[in-house]
Structure 1
Amino acid sequence: MFEFIRNHKRFMQVLLMLLIVPSFVLVGVSSYENKGDDANAVANVDGQKITQQEWDTAQRNQMDRYRQMLGERFDQKMFETPEAKQAILDNLIAERALAAEVARRNLTITDATLAKVYAEQFNGDVNQYKQTAASLGLTTPGLDARVRRDMALAQISGAVQSTAFAPRSVTTRLSDINDQEREVQELVFPAAQYISQVKVTDEMIKAFYDKNGTMFQIPEQVKAEYVLFTPETVESQVAVTDAEVADFYAKNLNNFSTGELRVASHILINAKKDAPAAEKAAAQAKAEAILAQLRKNPADFARLAKAESQDPGSAELGGDLGTVEKGAFVKPVEDAIYQLKQGEISNVVQSEYGYHIITVTSLKPAAVKPLEEAKTAIAEELKKQKMSKKYSELAEAFSNTLYEQSDSLKPAADKFKLKVETIDSLTRTPSPALGAAPFNSPKFLAAIFSEESLKNKRNTEAVQAGPNVLIAGRVIEFKPASKRPLAEVADAIRQRVTVEEAAKLARQAGEAKMAAAKASGDATGFGEAKVVSRSKQPPINPAAAMAVLKADVTKLPAYVGVDVPGQGYGVYRIGKMSQAAVPDAERRKAEVEQISNALGQQDMYNYTEMLKQKAKVKVLVKPAGAVTAAN
């Protein structure tokens, strides 16, 4: 990305919000004509109120969209910061200021334009149009108004951004910088070579320990006992009798019955209902001739259907009509199909389409699954129903027992035949090492670390820790947050300090070499020359490559020193600077568009800020709730 964009972070953040959270989906209100009470207003734009409810709705809508987009990666905390909430309010204010300008300019979208948009969007599907309105919580007139508004806003945005122009000299210069190649030689001073020179004293270890106390902090921990209430707890108390199975079977016999299944084929000789008698006679005669052939050789049905049938839908399939359903065919054909046995061929049958010869290729008679075959499935279904009801009853009783005898888990465990388990070293936040264990769920940890649980060692409430899984716990022992003793971490600190001191020695050696090289221009000790550019993967450490590309090269050779992560200290000698022999034309074209778009978006941001001043915006609250009454 270009330096220009890196240096305009605030602008790019606002741009990202405007692009990702457009007004069509953010606000979630059908009109700007909100007359909310002053007490409920969070901002005033051109005399119109933005209410707390609208702000809250905008925040919920944004979180819902990102929840759908990100799935398990969604983190609600990202959207609950004061900065995130303020960004949404800023966007609402900018939107209102733009809407006020639309009204002042009397910008309108004609019915013809709206109809054209709908034709492209919904392709004439009225149901889709209505469903879209309903999904947004709008009536169809409300959707029309919303689309007109957004199109009017787009007109202003397009007009402002289209005026942006990036001079060729600017785009060429930026692309040249992106294509610039620097020939660099590397000399690394590995920190490992200086470890033997490091002497770490007890004072140095103590100083590190005191300065970095948070590194050795042990969070508060709990040793707890717990019981799990699961579907298995209920299963042993539920039984299904043979009489219940038989009763269910009798009352739901249709569910175990299959109707007759017939698969048929036909050969059709076309003859319209209003065709001349001679034409009908000829068609009938042809059908009779085909039937005569079939009487001699019934196995030829599919071959003759492909050759002679005039039904384009089935002829290529050998006359196959598929599985027959009541009402799917005209009555004479349907009657003939249901009169035939499997493999039997009908006489010529006349219908409004012509003359048919029909055969049934497969026939499965209606059947009822015997009770013995259905018994297992019925019993499982009945047990599932009973368990669902019983689970609710017992879960409530489980919760009540925990509350009524809150000084021990044993009464609940005994009553429901549960085992009291113990878990040590629980912290307030879930541990990755414990995975999806019920006692590692955020809800249970919140309950076990509650004030009532910690102080009085009462049972927690029954917490939902998974599908049909309840967990309740009780604190056995609480360990407040503490700091690991120095003696326990001294060895680890010694290693850490040794590495850091070795890195300092490596840097000192590297800086001395760089000073000497600058003075003499001598390249002794440096490695082979490598080419570094912004448009290609660097052949050296990325941090070093960034420093090389930022270095002042007005005078060559130029030198730069860099701490190379995991290695030591690197000194880099830049001996030559040039442009790529064959510039990437497509990339340069894309860069011109990128720069123009960025300038257009900057213009739009500035224009919106001007409109906010014109609309006399007054923000009445901050995300934290403090009144500012700032203009």
Structure 2
Amino acid sequence: MLQALRDKSSGWIATVILGLLTIPFAFFGMEQYLFQRTETFAAKIETPPAWWSDAPDWWVVRKAFWSKDEITADQFRSAFEDERQRRRQQDGENFDAREFESIDNKRKILEQLVDQRVMRLASERDGFVVGNAQVIDAIQSIPAFQVDGKFSEQRYRLALASLAPPKTPTQFDQEVRDSLKQSFVASRLQESAFVTPSEGQRLLRMLNEKRDVSYVALPAPTPDTAPVTPAEIASWYKTHPNDFRAPEMVTLEYVEINAATLPPPVAPDERALQARYEQEKARFVEPEQRLTAHILVKVDAGADAAAQKAAEAKARDLLAKAKAPGADFAALARQNSDDAGSKDGGGDLGWVAKNGQMVKPFEDAVFTTAPGTISGPVKSEFGWHIIQVRELKAGREMPFEQARPELERMLVETDRERAYNDLTGALVDQALKTPSSMKQVADVAKLQVQRVGPISRNQAQGVLANQAVLRAAFSEDAKTRRNVSDPIEVAPNHSVMIRVVDHTPERVRPLAELGPQIVAAVRADRTRKAAEAQAEAIVARLKKGETLAAVAGEKQLTVETAAAVQRGAPSPDPAVSEAYFQVDAPAAGKVSPGKAQLPNGQMVVFEVTKVIAGQDSDMPAEIRAAFLGQLAPRLGDQDALSVSKDQRKRMKVTIAEDRL
């Protein structure tokens, strides 16, 4: 029997069948063995190649030919925290941490990141290249890398090294290059957008439109107190899972290294002070000073040529009078100077040092004028100056005894910083030896290990609320490896080292602990729907021809009227004012009814009785010009958004919402 089976399985038909069975295993089964890996992306974007734009979305084709980019969970979290900081600064006390942590807001921020990556992939696919010169210009224009308005290589490298985690110039260059790629199309669209005069005129008229309205504020809805059944609770929980998410939490151990709390250094001895004095002699020099007075003939930098010449002529006349035998410079200054700060004192400016406190043309003129003489006129951004130098005080070295307090402070600071750096280095060395033990790291410097948690990002306080610390605490590496971190700087000579002890991912809270909260949510929803239904019923009556006054009288409500209401008017609320402009303009002899909700849940029913067409002349000319100037870039932004949406349709975007 076995021989018969062998004979039947060795024919050409069996070979064909076996080959057909192998194909699906090769493409689908082997994928599970050959490409197993732990996915960490929050979003993945894949796009077909330019030479095969309609390539099918088959696994083997996608793996072989499509380009891919991923937004990791850490990259999303970093962008999310940056946006949190921006919103917190913008909103101040009105910042709603719970609303910011909502899944809808997370999706919104992730969608922005996806759009950026989509545009970068599209730029790369279509052959857009960012040159080295563009990258260099972009980096050198960043204020954080500049000293006195000029790019500083040293500041650049120090700033990169202080990031958490630190970055090399090569890494940062690539980030800037990628950023320029993804903004390339959008920036060009923004720069090329324009508004025609007729478009601008129509928009201005629409924005300046006004409406006459009558409205009634309905009584605040009666809170719902009816029983909520278990079935309603279960249904609400099922349909609103994102309302009941518990945030991601970590429990931390940490030590704080602060130079200010280290034992005070030994007081520097005389030899050390003398040596430092010799090293810093250039610092302890009192500069030359000159006792100076001036007369200012003020003229604006933007004044026309005639005004400039008139001011110069006046200054030259005053110079001649000041140099005349027996002239009283102080009296001339009191009568003619336009400098309100020195005029009453006869133009006296006191002792002027060459230290940049005065504008450069004025300072240069002071130090080229011989003591006891008058010079000018000298032109500066303020106007024309006549300068009198009365005395000169030569520069001199500050004696050692006078410099001693500053020298002692400098040496103490140097010793304290050295001690801080030595201590930090010892802690890092121990962390490399025992990466999973914060206690052994802390024992090196007899520091106290502090423990806090579980805490979410919003609950961190003190040094742990620092954004660099939070990024490190909630990074994938810290949560999975549970090692002692590198020192994280929170201020100069002040850092912390942390270790994640426990981690709880974001989750939907179980129904069992949410009963009262869900009951309150269901009742609030009932109350809101009842108020909306009441308002909608009144709107329906108005549409059938009843008047708002008649309906209000029936319900003993007061009708308020407002004439020529503009968009965004604050009374009774900007949201209500905006609703006035959402309804159609009323036909002759008719009204256009509608409804809106106040922030407290109270409903407003209104009727638009008249539309007053806007005129572009209603807006001052300078404001109109500024508005139209800002409009073109906004239209360019809309063009860029449209292009992004179109490009996204050609790509495959995978969102991992569970990693947000």
How high is the TM-score relative to the length of structure 1? Answer: 0.51
Tell me if the contact between 1:448 and 1:454 (Cα under 8 Å) persists in the aligned partners.
yes
Distance 1:503 1:623, change over 3 A: closer
Shift of 1:219: 2.4
- Do the aligned partners of 1:231 and 1:469 also contact (CA within 8 Å) in 2? yes
2:422 corresponds to which of 384, 393, 400: 393
Whether 1:308 and 2:334 are equivalent positions in the alignment is: no
Q: Following the alignment from structure 1 to structure 2, what is the Cα–Cα distance between the partners of residues 496 and 520?
A: 37
Look up the match of 1:479: 504
**Residues 1:468 and 2:493 are matched in the alignment:** yes
Q: 1:81 to 1:600 in 2, by over 3 A?
A: closer
Counterparts in 2 of 1:200 and 1:474: CA distance versus 1, 3 Å: same
For residue 245 of structure 1, report the CA deviation from its aligned partner: 1.3
Partner of 1:502: 527
User: In structure 1, what is the Cα distance between the partners aligned to 2:238 and 2:367?
Assistant: 94
How far the C-alpha of 1:320 sits from its partner, in A, is 11
**Alpha-carbon contact 2:249-2:454 (below 8 Å) kept:** yes
The 1:586/1:542 distance shift into structure 2, 3 A limit, reads closer
Match runs of 1:363-442 below 5 Å: 369=398, 371-427=400-456, 430-431=457-458, 433-434=459-460, 437-442=462-467
Question: Which residue is 2:272 aligned to?
Answer: 244
Q: 1:572 aligned to 2:606?
A: yes
Distance (Å, rounded) in 1 between the aligned partners of 2:625 and 2:283: 65
Partner of 1:210: 238
Structure 1 238/464 Cα, relative in aligned 2: closer, same or farther at 3 Å? farther
Equivalent residue runs for 1:277-296 within 5 Å: none
How far 1:577 sits from its partner (Å)?
Answer: 1.8
The alignment partner of 1:550 has SS state of: coil
| 3-state SS, counterpart of residue 398 of structure 1 | helix
Change (3 A) 1:394 1:557: closer
Q: CA deviation at 1:200?
A: 3.1
SS at match of 1:512: helix
Once the two structures are TM-superposed, the CA of residue 501 in structure 1 deviates from its matched residue by 0.6
Query: Cα distance, 1:380 vs. partner?
Result: 1.7
Contact (CA 8 Å) 2:258, 2:495: kept in 1 or not? yes
1:542 aligns with 2:566: no
- What is the SS of the residue equivalent to 2:563? strand
- Contact 1:462–1:470 (CA under 8 A) maintained in structure 2: yes
Which string of whole-angstrom CA distances, capped at 9 and with x for unpartnered residues, describes residues 537-558 of structure 1? 2644433333332323236133
Deviation for aligned residue 1:512: 2.6
Aligned equivalent of 1:560, options 591, 594, 601: 594
| 3-state SS of paired residue (2:250) | strand
Alignment correspondent of 2:70 = none
Please tell me whether the aligned partners of residues 507 and 568 of structure 1 are also in contact (alpha carbons under 8 angstroms).
no
User: In the superposition, relative to structure 1, how do residues 607 and 254 fare at CA in structure 2: closer, same or farther (>3 Å)?
Assistant: closer
Counterpart Cα distance in 2 of 1:511 and 1:320: 75
Structure 1 residue 497: Cα displacement: 2.0
**Do the aligned residues in 1 keep the contact of 2:568 with 2:578 (CA within 8 Å)?**
no
Alignment-mate amino acid for residue 203 of structure 1: A
The one-letter code sitting in structure 2 at the alignment partner of 1:244 is: A
C-alpha deviation, 1:400, in angstroms: 0.8
- Alpha-carbon distance in 1 for matches of 2:276, 2:113: 56
CA–CA separation in structure 1 for the residues paired with 2:627 and 2:404: 72
What per-residue deviation string (whole Å, max 9, x for no partner) do you get for residues 597-626 of structure 1? 899999999999xxx9xxxxx99x97999x
| Partners of 1:82 and 1:623 within 8 A in 2 | no
- Mark the CA change 1:412 to 1:312 in structure 2 (over 3 Å): closer, same or farther: same
Instruction: State the distance in 2 between where 1:92 and 1:195 align.
Output: 57
What is the CA deviation profile of residues 242-279 of structure 1, one whole-angstrom value per residue up to 9, with x for unaligned ones?
221133335656655658978699xxxxxxxxxxxxxx
Give secondary structure in 1 for the equivalent of 2:489. Answer: strand
Cα gap change, 1:90/1:311 in structure 2, threshold over 3 Å: closer, same or farther? farther
Say if 2:251 and 2:453, in contact at 8 Å, map to a contact too. yes
- Bigger Cα displacement from structure 2, 222-231 vs 540-549: 540-549
Q: Deviations over 1:187-221 (max 9, x none)?
A: 333452x3256443343233222322222221232
Mapped partners of 2:273, 2:88: distance in 1 = 42
Query: Aligned partners of 1:320 and 1:506: how far apart in 2?
Result: 72
CA RMSD of aligned residues (A): 6.0
Give the secondary structure class of the aligned counterpart of 1:508. Answer: helix
Deviation of 1:226 (Å): 0.8
1:399 to partner: Cα distance: 0.4
Q: Contact 1:209 / 1:486 at 8 angstroms: preserved in 2? A: yes
Give the Cα separation in 2 of the matches to 1:203 and 1:91. 52
- Residues 434-455 of structure 1, C-alpha deviations (whole Å, 9 max, x = no match): 35x3323344344444566545
Q: Deviations over 1:349-387 (max 9, x none)?
A: xxxxxxxxxxx9768798765544432221221233344
What pairs up with 1:244-283 in 2 under 5 angstroms? 244-249=272-277, 256=284, 258=286
Within 2, Cα distance between the matches of 1:454 and 1:78? Answer: 22
Counterparts in 2 of 1:369 and 1:594: CA distance versus 1, 3 Å: closer
CA distance in 2, matches of 1:495, 1:510: 23
Aligned to 1:515: 540
Question: Which residue identity is paired with 2:428?
Answer: S
Secondary structure, aligned partner of 2:569:
coil
Q: Residue in 2 aligned with 1:230?
A: 258
What is the alpha-carbon distance in structure 2 between the residues aligned to residue 455 and residue 89 of structure 1? 31
Which string of whole-angstrom CA distances, capped at 9 and with x for unpartnered residues, describes residues 255-306 of structure 1? 55658978699xxxxxxxxxxxxxxxxxxxxxxxxxxxxxxxxxxxxxx988
In the superposition, the TM-score normalised over structure 2's length comes to: 0.49
TM-superposed deviation, 1:421: 1.2
Are 2:550 and 1:524 aligned? yes
Distance across 1 between alignment mates of 2:417 and 2:218: 69
Contact 1:309–1:315 (Cα < 8 Å) also in 2: no
Look up the match of 2:106. Answer: none
Q: Does the 8 Å contact 2:595/2:604 carry over to 1?
A: yes
Runs of 4+ in 1 over 6 A off after TM superposition: 70-74, 77-80, 88-96, 259-262, 304-307, 310-325, 327-331, 360-368, 588-608, 621-625
Task: Check the 8 A contact 1:166/1:596 in 2, yes or no.
Answer: no
Task: Report how far residue 401 of structure 1 moved.
Answer: 0.8
Larger radius of gyration: 1
Shift in CA distance, 179/426, structure 1 to aligned 2, threshold 3 Å = closer
How big is the shift at 1:504? 1.5
